Amino acid sequence: MFYREAGQYKTSYSADMAVFPIWQDRIGIAVILALAFIGVPLIGNDFFTTTVMIPFLVFSLAAIGLNILTGYTGLISLGTAAFMGVGAYACYKMTTIFPNVNIIVLILVSGLFSAAIGVLFGLPSLRIKGFYLAVATLAAQFFLQWAFVRVPWLFNYNASGAIEVPLRSVFGIPITGATASPETRYFVCLVLVVVLTWFASNIVHGRLGRSWMAVRDMDIAAELMGIKLLNAKLLAFAVSSFYCGVAGAMMIFLWYGTAEAADVFSIRLSFTVLFMIIIGGLGSLIGSFFGAAFIASLPTIMKFGLPAIGIPLSGATAEHVTFMLLGALIILFLIVEPHGLARLWQIGKQKLRTWPFPY
Amino acid sequence: MKKTTIMKGAALGALLAGSALVSPAMAQDSIYVANNAYRTGPFSGSGTPIGDGMRDYFTMLNERDGGIGGVKINFEECETGYDTKKSIECYEQAKSKNTVIYSPWSTGATLAAIPRAHIDKIPILSMAYGLSASADGGQFPWVFIPPLTYWDGASIMVRHMANELGGMDKLKGKKLGLIHLDAPYGKEPIPVLEALAKKYGFEVKLYPVAAADMQNQGSLWLSIRRDRPDYLYNQGWGAMNPTAVKEAIKNGFPIAKLVGVWWAGGDDDARAGGPEAKGYKSLNFNAAGSNFPVIQDILKHVVDKGKSLAPKEKVGENLYNRGVYNSMLVAEAIANAQKISGKKVVTGEDVRRGLETLNITEARLKELGMAGFANAVKIACADHSGHNKAYVAEWDGTKWTQKGDWMDPLKDEVRPLIEAAAKDYAEKNAGWPKRAEACEKSS
């Protein structure tokens, strides 16, 4: 009734090709952004901001990164965590070497290091495909994680081998380090994620994105149409790793604070992000957000939320119940809609258009 | 919209609201103690007995004495699965509920919590794990690492070696192998062992085990056979420990010369080696067994009443008793805080002062029903570990027994390293605050 495009005429090609062609969608996105920028800081307490919202944003960005590679270009990668780790270590080294540079700039620049490493490990993708490529990227995971433990220069010869995030301020406000307030860290994460998502949206809807999708759907046909596979695949690796690298730097600098980073960026994290995009929806930006919310935030919300609304669960029981519920939900969603939550969202919108008189 | 959809939405909304409201009204007649545990995940084998011990001691205090100083202890366990992400969530929950102390129970969780402690005013108790440098109270006023650090442990290992060989001068030309997890935790003893090796003229050989290869140590033991070290020190964790014991037996390494750090001293670690594991050693700072009044009280007030999660036969195992020991430290810190502050319901700041002046004497241990269960523990303002004694325990085929006397760590060697490391930490973490908390007069 309210959600339909009747009466909205497009008078130009650009209006027709807009990401949000219907004004109801544009209002929707404005409401979500308003909620994120104003609502969450107003109503959320420190616990909610630190353990639900910041992880959600970090994982969303990592999922977008992997989605560019796996969802849009069809190249399966198990090296996500390693590329995130490159971003984190690069950011750590740079903030040691250039202590006066704006930390937000450093977080973004660390993505470039990750992109370079990603291109390097993406070279085999020109020859190998599918599961074999997954195994090749697994090599990246193992090699880089090995380097994180064994190259003491990376963690400044720290005796405990951990990355210790120093205090860095922008305009006098602490952004990283222990004194940075959760709200500040949340805002920095949010701004980075919103801006980078907007970039990603433009990339995947543009020439580059279409060439990636052509490669995904049939690479020989894409080549015959004049798409250079070398460029398209390596660019996919570069952009994807850039996003993962920024997410990794955000993870350590804006969320964990101090961490045994080699342990954090383990193969388990790679799988977690892969599951996010499978559950969320391959080849969909909004699916990346759904997947991150489902895999990263829902367990936390269930574990601490269920006891808080009066369901008496504690300690290990809460953990076990969360595991079981989450497992059941994953199976349920995959049975109901094998193409992920993004597809469910799309179907929902379609149904809403004809509501209340479906035909 | 269908009714069910609305219901689902409402349920999810309630959940979201619930998690946003994690901090409920504080009951002012109890003290909230948050405690991490890992009963799930890859290390649940050791996490479960430790968690049971910690929980049962507080349940016993509440049942037998009505809490500490007449105030009930609201002990809450938070499950981490030994995962840093979940530990951070647990820390945030503990903070929002105004915990008076935080026991992180993993190196990763300790490292993540240390920079926040002085801001959130929550003392951290990392009992013989975590960051060795945090033993320097001058730099880390909020972090406590009693009764001793990994560096002390490594120095006790060297001492044990010298005792068996017949003196420090006999160490010259000997070979000590270090099997260690290839992670920050495993690499902890390396700087101390290397410093001691230089001083006493023995050689240190490193045998790193990658986290992924904990149960696959075949090639590592080939190099051990080639190098023929005189002693092996095992800074291992989880599945790595029983594997090391089994491999030592398989490769004919004299099991009596294999000594584990205290976390390699689980009953199940040694049991995996079968009868041939008899003679396997591990450092320890608590006694195993149930022949102590404190354990008998736990059996009487908690286990027999069905209030424990532990099966009766597991009560008194080495790691269970270590959990009891951890809770004893927390309880004593709270009792001491009550004494110093004169308040019944203490805060995190009081407990920090309580920990800093903690002095558990032999007489006090006897009052607690722990004579022979543990050694005296003393923490001071500058010394947040105390560098207290430990002993070498031996597996007799069915249980851990004390072998030899309680030994002091080589404090003179370890302390300068700790102070240097603490200074280094403060320098690298720009903006690390100077200690603002005054020392107590009595310490």
Question: Mind listing the pLDDT tens digit for each residue in B423-443?
Answer: 988 888 777 888 888 888 754
Using an 8 Å CB-CB cutoff, list chain A residues near B42: none
Q: B170 and B100, same structural domain?
A: no
Largest CA distance in chain A: 68
- pTM here? 0.90
How many CB atoms neighbour CB A195 within 10 A?
11
Going along B315-399, which residue ranges are E strands? 359-360, 377-378, 390-395
Distance CA A101, CA A86 (A): 19
Distance CA B56, CA B113 (A): 25
For all residues of chain B together, what is the average pLDDT?
Answer: 89
Out of A258, A309, A320, the one facing B114 most closely (by C-beta) is A258
H or E stretch covering B281: strand B281-284
- pLDDT value for B25: 42
Domain that holds residue B250: 151-287+394-412
- pLDDT value for B330: 96
Q: B251 and B180, same structural domain?
A: yes
Strand partners for B71:
B68
- pLDDT value for B436: 85
Q: How far is B184 from chain A (nearest CA, A)?
A: 5
Query: Are A109 and A124 a contacting pair, CB within 8 Å?
Result: no
Distance CA A207, CA B41 (A): 45
Q: B106 and B54, same structural domain?
A: yes
Joined tokens for residue A78: 């198990």
Q: B252 and B400, same structural domain?
A: yes
Main-chain phi, psi angles of B281, to 5 degrees: -120, 160
Q: Concatenate the DSSP letters of all residues of B234-278 into one string.
A: EE--TTHHHHHHHHHHHTT--GGGEEE-GGG--HHHHHTTGGGGT
Radius of gyration, alpha carbons of chain A: 21
B425 in contact with A, Cβ within 8 Å: yes
B95 in contact with A, Cβ within 8 Å: yes
- pLDDT value for A106: 96
Residues 193-232 in B contacting A (C-alpha not used; CB under 8 Å): 210-211
Task: Encode B209-224: b = buried (16+ Cβ within 10 Å), e = exposed.
Answer: bbbebbeebeebbeeb
Query: Are B257 and B394 a contacting pair, CB within 8 Å?
Result: no
Q: B421 and B299, same structural domain?
A: yes
Q: B336 and B304, same structural domain?
A: yes
- Contact: B431, A308; criterion CB under 8 Å: no
Using an 8 Å CB-CB cutoff, list chain A residues near B39: 315-316, 319
Any domain includes B16:
no
B191 in contact with A, Cβ within 8 Å: yes
Query: Are B53 and B12 a contacting pair, CB within 8 Å?
Result: no
Main-chain phi, psi angles of B378, to 5 degrees: -135, 125
Residue of B nearest to A268 (CA): B83
B81 in contact with A, Cβ within 8 Å: yes
Out of B19, B77, B114, the one facing A308 most closely (by C-beta) is B19
Residue of B nearest to A149 (CA): B183
Looking at residue B124, the DSSP 8-state letter turns out to be E
- pLDDT value for B6: 54
Residue to mutate among A56, A173, A250, A304, with most B CBs inside 10 A, is A304
- pLDDT value for B26: 47
- Contact: A159, B14; criterion CB under 8 Å: no
Any domain includes B436:
no
Which residues have C-beta within 8 Å of that of residue B237, sequence separation ≥ 6?
B43, B181, B185, B186, B214, B263, B264
H or E stretch covering A281: none
- pLDDT value for B369: 94
For chain B, how many structural domains are there in total?
Answer: 2
- Contact: A305, B424; criterion CB under 8 Å: no
Residues 291-350 in B contacting A (C-alpha not used; CB under 8 Å): none
Any domain includes B443:
no
Go through chain B and tell me how many residues it has: 443
One-letter identity of residue B326: N
A261: confidence class by pLDDT, cuts 50, 70, 90: confident
Going along B149-257, which residue ranges are E strands? 175-181, 203-209, 231-235
Query: Are A32 and A238 a contacting pair, CB within 8 Å?
Result: no
Out of A255, A304, A316, the one facing B40 most closely (by C-beta) is A316
Which residues have C-beta within 8 Å of that of residue B327, sequence separation ≥ 6?
B53, B54, B55, B57, B58
Distance CA B294, CA A269 (A): 43
Distance CA A12, CA A292 (A): 36
Which residues have C-beta within 8 Å of that of residue B434, sequence separation ≥ 6?
none
Any domain includes B3:
no
Residue to mutate among B35, B85, B237, with most A CBs inside 10 A, is B85
Residue of B nearest to A256 (CA): B112
Distance CA A248, CA A261 (A): 10
Residues 127-186 in B contacting A (C-alpha not used; CB under 8 Å): 131-133, 182-184
Using an 8 Å CB-CB cutoff, list chain B residues near A260: 84, 107-108, 111, 183-184
pLDDT digits 0-9 by tens, A276-313:
999 999 999 999 999 999 999 988 888 888 887 877 77
Query: Are A86 and A245 a contacting pair, CB within 8 Å?
Result: yes
- Contact: A260, B84; criterion CB under 8 Å: yes
Q: How far is B72 from chain A (nearest CA, A)?
A: 19
Which residues have C-beta within 8 Å of that of residue A341, sequence separation ≥ 6?
A279, A280, A281, A287, A290, A291, A294, A333
- The whole-angstrom distance between residue B7's C-alpha and the CA centroid of its chain comes to 46
Say whether pLDDT at B1 is over 50: no
- pLDDT value for A3: 80
- Contact: A263, B108; criterion CB under 8 Å: yes
How many helices (H) does chain B have, and how many strands (E)?
15, 14
User: Are β-strands B377-378 and B390-395 bridged in parallel, bridged antiparallel, or unpaired?
Assistant: unpaired
How many CB atoms neighbour CB A346 within 10 A?
17
- pLDDT value for B14: 57
Say whether pLDDT at A222 is over 80: yes
Any domain includes B2:
no
Using an 8 Å CB-CB cutoff, list chain A residues near B184: 160-162, 260, 263
Q: How far is CA B292 from CA A117, B52, B288, B324, B366, in A?
A: 59, 17, 10, 12, 10
- Please report, for the domain that includes residue B339, its CATH number: 3.40.50.2300
Residue to mutate among A56, A103, A260, A311, with most B CBs inside 10 A, is A260
Using an 8 Å CB-CB cutoff, list chain A residues near B85: 55, 264
Query: Are B49 and B310 a contacting pair, CB within 8 Å?
Result: yes
Out of B17, B18, B111, the one facing A258 most closely (by C-beta) is B111
Any domain includes B20:
no
A1: confidence class by pLDDT, cuts 50, 70, 90: low
* Complex ipTM > 0.85: yes
Residue of A nearest to B210 (CA): A146
Which residues have C-beta within 8 Å of that of residue B397, sequence separation ≥ 6?
B275, B277, B278
B76 in contact with A, Cβ within 8 Å: yes
In percent, the amount of chain A with pLDDT more than 90 equals 62
- Contact: B18, A45; criterion CB under 8 Å: no
Q: B179 and B56, same structural domain?
A: no
Q: Concatenate the DSSP letters of all residues of B34-90 into one string.
A: EEEE--SSTTHHHHHHHHHHHHHHHHHHHHHHSSBTTBEEEEEEEE-TT-HHHHHHH
Using an 8 Å CB-CB cutoff, list chain A residues near B24: 308
pLDDT digits 0-9 by tens, A164-215:
888 899 998 999 988 889 999 999 999 999 999 999 999 999 999 999 999 9
Out of B78, B81, B429, the one facing A164 most closely (by C-beta) is B429
Using an 8 Å CB-CB cutoff, list chain B residues near A51: 88-89, 92-93
How many helices (H) does chain A have, and how many strands (E)?
18, 4
Joined tokens for residue B50: 């430790």
Joined tokens for residue A35: 């909620």
Joined tokens for residue A357: 């008189």
Distance CA A273, CA A291 (A): 8
Joined tokens for residue B232: 């092996």
- Contact: A262, B183; criterion CB under 8 Å: yes
pLDDT digits 0-9 by tens, A243-254:
999 999 999 999
A157: confidence class by pLDDT, cuts 50, 70, 90: confident
Query: Are A136 and A75 a contacting pair, CB within 8 Å?
Result: no
B15: confidence class by pLDDT, cuts 50, 70, 90: low
Lowest mean pLDDT: which of B43-47, B88-92, B167-171?
A: B43-47
Q: How far is A156 from chain B (nearest CA, A)?
A: 9
- pLDDT value for A191: 97
Residues 45-74 in B contacting A (C-alpha not used; CB under 8 Å): 51
B115 in contact with A, Cβ within 8 Å: yes
Out of A149, A167, A258, the one facing B430 most closely (by C-beta) is A167
Task: Please tell me the number of Cα atoms within 13 Å of A214 on its side-chain side.
Answer: 18
Say whether pLDDT at B335 is over 90: yes
Out of A51, A266, A323, the one facing B92 most closely (by C-beta) is A51
Q: B255 and B139, same structural domain?
A: no
- pLDDT value for A258: 84
SS3 content of chain B, % helix, strand, coil (to 5): 50, 15, 35
Query: Are B271 and B296 a contacting pair, CB within 8 Å?
Result: no
Once rounded to an integer, what is the mean pLDDT over residues B90-100? 92
Residue to mutate among B59, B77, B92, B132, with most A CBs inside 10 A, is B92
Main-chain phi, psi angles of A261, to 5 degrees: -65, -35
- Contact: A44, B20; criterion CB under 8 Å: yes
H or E stretch covering A174: strand A173-176
Residue of A nearest to B132 (CA): A160
Task: Encode B298-330: b = buried (16+ Cβ within 10 Å), e = exposed.
Answer: bbebbbeeeebbbeeebbbbbbbbbbbbbbbbb
Q: B300 and B250, same structural domain?
A: no
Looking at residue B374, the DSSP 8-state letter turns out to be B
- Contact: B39, A300; criterion CB under 8 Å: no
- pLDDT value for B439: 87
Q: How far is B50 from chain A (nearest CA, A)?
A: 13
Between helices B218-227 and B240-250, what is the axis angle to 10°? 50
Say whether pLDDT at B279 is over 90: yes
Once rounded to an integer, what is the mean pLDDT over residues A41-52? 90
Q: B230 and B107, same structural domain?
A: no
User: Are β-strands B281-284 and B390-395 bridged in parallel, bridged antiparallel, or unpaired?
Assistant: antiparallel
Which residues have C-beta within 8 Å of that of residue A50, sequence separation ≥ 6?
A182, A185, A255, B88, B92
Residue of A nearest to B79 (CA): A315
Once rounded to an integer, what is the mean pLDDT over residues A143-162? 86
Distance CA B289, CA B287 (A): 7
Size of interface A-B (CB pairs under 8 A): 159
A64: confidence class by pLDDT, cuts 50, 70, 90: very high
Q: B110 and B210, same structural domain?
A: no
- Contact: A259, B111; criterion CB under 8 Å: yes
Any domain includes B137:
yes
Using an 8 Å CB-CB cutoff, list chain A residues near B81: 319
Residues 14-33 in B contacting A (C-alpha not used; CB under 8 Å): 14-24
Joined tokens for residue A206: 């543009």
Q: B131 and B165, same structural domain?
A: no
- Contact: B211, A162; criterion CB under 8 Å: no
One-letter identity of residue B200: Y
Which residues have C-beta within 8 Å of that of residue A204, sequence separation ≥ 6?
A68, A72, A212, A285
User: Which of A276, A300, A294 minimizes the C-alpha distance to B86?
Assistant: A300
- pLDDT value for B437: 86
Any domain includes B125:
yes
